[in-house]
């Protein structure tokens, strides 16, 4: 409802009425003045049903006009029966006249005499009136939805209000008669227009299909098919375009000179109070440095960055060193992203195995820690380095790795640490990408290859580590892993080594779980556990040890894992329990099982409560 004029509210009176919603309509009142006295409904709040249709009242929706409301309202109030909800009077401020909807009030004038005026109205049509003169929260307006039922109930209220009569308002009965005389559109005309519009738009749609340019003007092209490998010209064009784009992005990054200049600005504009421990900067100086640094610096000086670097300073400042390290890290991230993207031949955001090999091969000359490697070993080093990326970042074995995943993991950091000339020996030994680590893995492979054919068979692989891996486990390895005539090549061996040396990682557990799942059911039941533990018992007998009962080991395994289903163990159970590496070790390695069984004695001797089982 809309409001234009405020009307005074004098002497209180009583009338029973119902509230209703009323849409904006077509008739504008001539004028409105206030004199006399009559009773109209003034609800404080009206909550119309959002999707309610027309609702008929009791008694076939009889509509009555009530004149001289103050007197007859009380009579109607006393004479009506049937409960509180039935005592409903709907009031319309029109020349001492109101509309009443009732089912059992015969004293009132029947509006059925107007039925001839409504004969041409369909049940679904609405009678609409302009209610711009109705004041919001003071008047209830009626929505007419059917011929016989003029009231659309939304809520029934008992209202106590008196308002002065609004004179010179358009007569209610005249408005109804005027509306019923309007030209109606019959059903046949609607169907004709519907068919006409359908044919029109259908023909336009067919025309757009026949003419490709027609659709391009509406929907821009968003898919570009990759060029075929034999289309050399298109391939070269794509590569050149990508190279130019990456070069342009590289120029938008801060170079070393600009980074040094940024540090000078930060050091010069640090904010008080000053401290000898660490220099800080507030938000005003933060924005000032961003303006002085130029357009290249602004992406790193945003409110979000300032909020993220907050460290609990009582003055709301951030550390200058933390800010500068953040900028350097972001610059390095983008530089590395651009560098990796140069090797993305397809341009889809991932690197294939051959792309990774090319990247690492060209990176070797820039890593001082690899200067001692002979060129004949470079191909083996590249293979060793690439396998770690593929093993951990490509669990589905698709043969490619997303550039985003490479940047998110720590492998690239480990690889680029080899730029440090003075890298400590212990870090070199623990770094998979270091020269000593690569030589160690390759040397183990050569030592296991007894027949020197460049491949490992089942008997040769059994000597891996301490040589205590069970026969059952070796059989399953050669059943599940890729082999050539029953023998394992260097790449497959690298996957095996990565899984065995990183058993606590989810990717390694996935690799080993596939081997332990004898029946391929997706879980380890009592049969699977017993199948592998029997091989442990056999090795214990060979070494003159008393075998452990399987039931005891099975109970310990289930107690450690605490699977969701007490009948079997899934891969997710192994990952969630945090002891999946221990479970795998006691099932496949005699030395690992013996270490687990004597963990308490070993902890007492070494002072370490959790001895290494690997």
pLDDT for 30: 38
For residue 510, being part of any structural domain is answered with: yes
Give the residue among 422, 463, 431 at the shortest CA–CA distance from 444: 463
Residue 67 pLDDT exceeds 60: no
Same domain, yes or no, for 209 and 123?
no
Strands (DSSP E) found in 399-491? 400-402
Same domain, yes or no, for 196 and 303?
no
For residue 46, being part of any structural domain is answered with: yes
For residue 360, being part of any structural domain is answered with: no
Same domain, yes or no, for 522 and 559?
yes
User: Among 162, 180, 198, where does a domain finish?
Assistant: 180
- Cβ(21)–Cβ(53) under 8 Å? no
Please count the residues of the chain: 614
Task: Name the residue with higher pLDDT: 229 or 113.
Answer: 229
Residue 569 pLDDT exceeds 60: yes
Instruction: Output the 3-class SS for 35-92.
Output: EEEECCCCCCCCCCCCCCCCCCCHHHHCEEEEECHHHHHHHHHHHCCCCHHHCCCCCC
Same domain, yes or no, for 198 and 144?
no
Residue 516 pLDDT exceeds 60: yes
Same domain, yes or no, for 582 and 614?
yes
Instruction: Output the 3-class SS for 545-588.
Output: CCCCCHHHHHHHHHHHHCCCCCCCECHHHHHHHCCHHHHHHHHH
Task: Name the residue with higher pLDDT: 169 or 467.
Answer: 467
pLDDT for 166: 36
Q: Is 321 helix (H, G, I), strand (E, B) or coil?
A: helix
- Cβ(169)–Cβ(94) under 8 Å? yes
Same domain, yes or no, for 207 and 109?
no
Residue 296 CA: distances (Å) to CA of 249, 265, 290, 338: 11, 14, 9, 17
For residue 374, being part of any structural domain is answered with: no
CB environment 184-200: b (16+ within 10 A), e (fewer)? eeeeeeeeeeeeeeeee
Give the residue among 282, 281, 280, 300 at the shortest CA–CA distance from 290: 300
Same domain, yes or no, for 607 and 519?
yes
Give the residue among 373, 377, 407, 411 at the shortest CA–CA distance from 391: 411
For residue 226, being part of any structural domain is answered with: no
For residue 233, being part of any structural domain is answered with: no
- Cβ(204)–Cβ(77) under 8 Å? no
Average pLDDT over residues 87-105: 38
Residue 151 pLDDT exceeds 70: no
**Which tens digit of pLDDT belongs to each residue from 106-142?**
333 333 443 444 344 444 433 343 444 333 333 334 4
Same domain, yes or no, for 120 and 193?
no
Task: Name the residue with higher pLDDT: 607 or 229.
Answer: 229
User: Among 162, 196, 216, where does a domain finish?
Assistant: 216
Same domain, yes or no, for 137 and 199?
no
Residue 369 has what DSSP assignment? Answer: G
Provide the domain count of the chain: 4
Same domain, yes or no, for 330 and 265?
yes
- The residues, any chain, with a CB within 8 Å of residue 484's CB and separated by 6 or more, are 455
Tokens (6 digits) for 503: 């058993």
Residue 160 neighbours by CB distance under 10 Å: 10
Q: What's the rounded Cα separation, in Å, for the pair 31 and 58?
A: 35
CATH of the domain at 297: 1.10.238
Same domain, yes or no, for 488 and 593?
yes
**Which tens digit of pLDDT belongs to each residue from 21-60?**
333 333 333 333 333 333 343 444 444 434 444 444 343 3
For the chain, the maximum distance between any two Cα atoms, rounded to a whole number of angstroms, is 119
- The residues, any chain, with a CB within 8 Å of residue 267's CB and separated by 6 or more, are 279, 320
pLDDT for 190: 80
Instruction: Give the burial class of 614: count Cβ atoms within 10 A of its Cβ; 0-12 exposed, 13-18 middle, 19 or more buried.
Output: middle
Question: What band does 253 get if pLDDT is binned at 50, 70 and 90?
Answer: very high
Which of 131-135, 151-155, 220-224, 541-545 bottoms out in mean pLDDT, i.e. has the lowest? Answer: 151-155
pLDDT for 613: 53
Residue 211 pLDDT exceeds 80: no
For residue 235, being part of any structural domain is answered with: no
**Which tens digit of pLDDT belongs to each residue from 275-301?**
878 899 999 999 999 999 999 999 999
pLDDT for 573: 96
Average pLDDT over residues 583-600: 91
For residue 482, being part of any structural domain is answered with: yes
User: Which residues are 16's β-sheet partners?
Assistant: 158
pLDDT for 607: 59
Residue 381 neighbours by CB distance under 10 Å: 21
pLDDT for 66: 38
pLDDT for 174: 63
Give the chain's mean pLDDT.
75
**Which tens digit of pLDDT belongs to each residue from 396-411?**
889 999 999 999 999 9
User: Among 319, 339, 359, where does a domain finish?
Assistant: 339
- Cβ(464)–Cβ(474) under 8 Å? no
Residue 145 has what DSSP assignment? Answer: -
CATH of the domain at 584: 1.10.238.10
- The residues, any chain, with a CB within 8 Å of residue 419's CB and separated by 6 or more, are 366, 367, 368, 369
Residue 270 CA: distances (Å) to CA of 263, 296, 322, 508: 11, 20, 13, 48
Same domain, yes or no, for 148 and 201?
no
pLDDT for 225: 84
**Structural domain that includes position 99:** 15-180
Residue 105 pLDDT exceeds 60: no
- Cβ(1)–Cβ(131) under 8 Å? yes
């Amino acid at each position: 409802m809309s409001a234009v004029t405020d009307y005074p509210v004098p002497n209180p009176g009583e009338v029973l009425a119902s509230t209703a919603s009323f849409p904006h309509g077509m008739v504008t009142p001539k004028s409105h003045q206030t004199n006399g006295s009559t009773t109209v409904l003034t609800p404080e709040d009206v909550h119309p049903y959002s999707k309610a249709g027309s609702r008929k009242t009791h008694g076939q929706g009889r509509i009555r006009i009530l004149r001289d409301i103050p007197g007859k309202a009380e009579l109607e109030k006393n004479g009506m029966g049937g409960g509180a909800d039935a005592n409903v009077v709907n009031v319309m401020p029109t020349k001492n006249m109101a509309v009443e909807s009732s089912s059992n009030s015969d004293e009132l004038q029947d509006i059925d005499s107007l039925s001839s005026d409504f004969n041409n109205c369909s049940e679904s049509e609405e009678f609409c009136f302009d209610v711009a003169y109705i004041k919001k929260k003071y008047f209830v307006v009626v929505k007419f939805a059917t011929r016989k039922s003029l009231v659309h109930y939304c809520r029934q209220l008992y209202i106590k209000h008196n308002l002065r009569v609004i004179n010179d308002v358009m007569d209610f009965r005249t408005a109804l008669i005027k509306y019923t005389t309007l030209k109606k559109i019959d059903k046949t005309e609607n169907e004709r227009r519907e068919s006409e519009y359908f044919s029109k738009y259908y023909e336009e749609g067919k025309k757009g299909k026949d003419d490709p340019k027609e659709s391009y003007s509406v929907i821009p092209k968003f898919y570009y098919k990759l060029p075929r490998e034999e289309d050399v010209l298109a391939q070269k064009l794509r590569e050149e375009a990508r190279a130019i784009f990456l070069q342009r992005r590289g120029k938008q990054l801060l170079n070393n000179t600009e980074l040094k200049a940024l540090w000078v600005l930060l050091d010069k504009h640090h904010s008080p109070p000053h401290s000898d421990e660490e220099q800080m900067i507030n938000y005003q100086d933060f924005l000032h440095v961003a303006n002085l640094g130029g357009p290249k610096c602004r992406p790193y000086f945003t409110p979000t960055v300032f909020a993220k670097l907050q460290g609990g300073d009582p003055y709301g400042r951030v550390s200058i060193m933390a800010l500068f390290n953040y900028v350097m890290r972001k610059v390095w991230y983008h530089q590395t992203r651009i560098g990796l993207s140069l090797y993305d031949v397809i341009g889809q955001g991932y690197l294939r195995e051959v792309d990774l090999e090319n990247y690492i091969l060209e990176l070797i000359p820039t890593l001082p820690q690899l200067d001692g490697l002979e060129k004949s070993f470079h191909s083996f080093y590249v293979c060793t380095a690439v396998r770690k990326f593929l093993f951990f970042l490509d669990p589905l074995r698709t043969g490619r790795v997303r550039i985003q995943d490479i940047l998110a993991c720590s492998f690239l950091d480990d690889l680029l640490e080899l730029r440090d000339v003075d890298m400590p020996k212990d870090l070199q030994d623990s770094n998979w990408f270091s020269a000593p680590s690569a030589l160690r893995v390759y040397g183990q492979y050569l030592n296991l290859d007894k027949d020197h054919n460049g491949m490992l068979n089942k008997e040769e692989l059994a000597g891996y580590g301490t040589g205590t891996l069970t026969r059952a486990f070796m059989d399953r390895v050669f059943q599940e892993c890729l082999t050539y005539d029953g023998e394992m090549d260097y790449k497959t061996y690298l996957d095996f080594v990565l899984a065995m040396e990183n058993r606590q990682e989810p990717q390694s557990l996935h690799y080993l779980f596939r081997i332990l799942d004898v029946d391929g059911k997706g879980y380890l039941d009592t049969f699977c556990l017993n199948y592998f533990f029997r091989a442990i018992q056999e090795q214990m007998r060979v070494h003159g040890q008393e075998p452990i009962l399987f039931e005891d080991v099975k109970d310990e395994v289930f107690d450690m894992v605490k699977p969701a289903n007490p009948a079997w163990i899934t891969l997710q159970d192994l990952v969630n329990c945090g002891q999946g590496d221990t479970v795998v070790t006691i099932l496949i390695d005699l030395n690992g099982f013996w270490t687990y069984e004597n963990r308490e004695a070993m902890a007492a001797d070494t002072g370490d409560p959790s001895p290494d089982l690997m």
